[in-house]
Amino acid sequence: MNQAQSNQAMCHSCGKPLVLAAEKVARTEECAECRIDVRVCLNCKFHDTSSYNECGEPMAERVVDKDRRNFCEYFSLFKGERASTGEDEKQSALDKLNDLFK
């Protein structure tokens, strides 16, 4: 990943760079490519599936629908690429275990 990509916000849905009118993300902002809401947990720098309520901000209220716009006061647009969640590795390991018992 080059330096330009590491500072670019990417849409959680389509993976395309987000082009925003202002630095602060409005609640009604949508991705220009796929028309998905931008101000969602999945685009927030605090989103962390390993944390309580999947949020790294301890003062934030629980948000159930992580892919829908919300009123979270702690939203901060994540810039860069997210690390792998490990789901592919988990599935691969499960497949190997299942193959042992065939």
b/e code 60-94 from CB counts within 10 Å (16+ = b): beebeebeebbebeebebbeeeeeeeeeeeeeeee
Higher pLDDT, 93 or 41: 41
Place of tokens 């720098």: 45
Q: Is the pTM of this model over 0.75?
A: no
How does pLDDT run across 49-67, given as a tens digit for each residue? 999 999 999 999 999 999 9
Number of domains comprising the chain: 1
Domain of residue 75 covers: 1-102
What percent of the chain has pLDDT above 90?
Answer: 63
Looking at every residue in the chain, the average pLDDT score rounds to 85
How does pLDDT run across 27-40, given as a tens digit for each residue? 999 999 999 999 99
Higher pLDDT, 89 or 61: 61
